[in-house]
């Protein structure tokens, strides 16, 4: 029989903690109730992603927010594995919107750490170019007509670009470094 490895708990240094982080988070739409998470683990138990990924754990994310482990959270690629199915939101006995917290953290990763998975940068680029997140080829648009479907209305691109600009998104997208793929194991 092989000897079981001794469990060494990961060390959290006090200077890593941002004690005000949870207050900042709880002012954001969707993350208001992060402080009342009592770590029951319902979110992780019911999370379809956690079943197949060894390191996506919604309960841990909520705890890390409470502890103020901001940098560890924002630099952790696991953040991008949530599929936003909202099962955790509907099941939380405390009414904590875990998926909302994850979304707030993703927004912060973009803003504070300039990190974004490549796919979203591409979708945003298509949206700014065509109004749709996919670049629909001319042949497709032609096929619509052949299939008897009405032509796709043209997007008012000027307005879409204005929205990217006034929400600060265009600037954020210019700065981001992209993450190609996220490992789940």
Three-state DSSP at 49 gives coil
Start-to-end Cα distance in the chain: 26
Angstrom distance (rounded) from CA 139 to CA 35: 52
Q: How many residues bind another protein (CB under 8 A)?
A: 68
Angstrom distance (rounded) from CA 78 to CA 154: 37
Tell me which of 112, 149, 175, 177 binds another protein, using CB under 8 A. 149
Least distance from C-beta 113 to another protein, angstroms? 13
Least distance from C-beta 88 to another protein, angstroms? 10
Tell me which of 20, 129, 175, 181 binds another protein, using CB under 8 A. 181
Closest to 128 in 3D by CA, of 101, 98, 181, 167: 167
Which two tokens mark 5? 């490895």
Q: Which is nearer to another protein, 39 or 142 (CB)?
A: 142
Which two tokens mark 179? 């993450």
Touching another protein, residues 103-122 (CB under 8 A): 103-104, 106-107, 110-111, 116-120
Burial environment of residue 88 by CB neighbours within 10 A (0 to 12, 13 to 18, 19 or more): buried
Please give the torsion angle defined by the CA atoms of residues 57, 72, 168 and 126, in that order, rounded to the nearest 10 degrees.
Answer: -50
Position 74 contacts another protein (CB under 8 A): no
Residue with tokens 């504070």: 112
Least distance from C-beta 95 to another protein, angstroms? 9
Tell me which of 132, 142, 145, 175 binds another protein, using CB under 8 A. 132
Contact residues: another protein, CB under 8 A:
29-30, 48-49, 52-53, 80-87, 89-90, 97, 99, 103-104, 106-107, 110-111, 116-120, 123-124, 127, 131-134, 136, 140-141, 143-144, 147-150, 152-156, 158-160, 162-164, 166-169, 172-173, 179, 181-185
């Amino acid at each position: 029989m092989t000897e079981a490895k001794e469990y060494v708990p990961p060390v959290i240094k006090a200077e890593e903690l941002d004690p005000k982080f949870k207050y900042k988070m709880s002012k954001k739409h969707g993350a208001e109730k992060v402080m009342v998470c009592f770590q029951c683990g319902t979110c992780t138990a019911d999370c379809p992603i956690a079943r197949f990924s060894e390191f996506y754990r919604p309960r841990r994310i909520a705890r890390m927010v409470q502890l103020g482990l901001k940098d560890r959270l924002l630099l952790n690629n696991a953040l991008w594995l949530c599929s936003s199915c909202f099962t955790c939101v509907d099941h939380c006995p405390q009414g904590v919107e875990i998926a909302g917290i994850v979304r707030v953290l993703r927004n912060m990763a973009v803003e504070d750490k300039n990190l974004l998975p490549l796919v979203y940068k591409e979708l945003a680029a298509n949206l700014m170019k065509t109004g749709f997140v996919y670049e629909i080829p001319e042949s497709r648009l032609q096929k619509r007509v052949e299939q008897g479907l009405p032509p796709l209305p043209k997007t008012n691109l000027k307005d879409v670009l204005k929205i990217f600009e006034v929400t600060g998104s265009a600037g954020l997208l210019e700065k981001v470094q992209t993450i190609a793929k996220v490992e789940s194991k």
